[in-house]
Amino acid sequence: MRLVFASKHADMDTIAGSLCAYMLLGYLWAVLYSMIEAVQPGAFRLLDESERMVFEGESSIVSIYFSFVTLTTPGYGDVTPVTPIARTSGDA
């Protein structure tokens, strides 16, 4: 990241470094969301209220999806943080 911010002009290395940093940030937040769900089951709710997000196998994709939707700020609302700790991490 230091090299990306220190660069005076945008070349392919700077763009690639920025993309890698952005992806890493998204995946780090996804891990955080998965940890919150592991500690507090039911911390996140899917659009259908009868469904509770269970972070096993393929549903970890939901945490990655929620992370990047939150990071890019469209906030579709189909995955909602429910508990106070989950709501706090989504606002960061």
Q: What is the pLDDT of residues 20-74, one digit of tens each?
A: 999 999 999 999 988 888 888 878 877 765 555 554 555 678 888 889 998 888 8
Task: Please indicate, yes or no, if residue 86 is contained in any of the structural domains.
Answer: yes
Its domain, for residue 80, covers 27-91
Task: Please indicate, yes or no, if residue 8 is contained in any of the structural domains.
Answer: no
Find tokens 């009868």 and name the residue.
Answer: 50
Task: Please indicate, yes or no, if residue 21 is contained in any of the structural domains.
Answer: no
pLDDT at 13: 82
Task: Please indicate, yes or no, if residue 15 is contained in any of the structural domains.
Answer: no
The enclosing domain of 80 has a CATH number of 1.10.287.70
How many domains are contained in the chain? Answer: 1
Q: How far apart are CA 34 and CA 42, in angstroms?
A: 11
**Averaged pLDDT for residues 75-92:** 75
Task: Report the predicted TM-score, pTM, of the whole model to 2 decimal places.
Answer: 0.73
Task: Please indicate, yes or no, if residue 35 is contained in any of the structural domains.
Answer: yes
Q: How far apart are CA 12 and CA 64, in angstroms?
A: 26
pLDDT at 52: 56
Residue 62 near residue 79, CB atoms below 8 Å: yes
Q: How far apart are CA 59 and CA 8, in angstroms?
A: 41
Q: Which amino acid is at 30?
A: A
**92 confidence band (pLDDT: 50, 70, 90):** very low
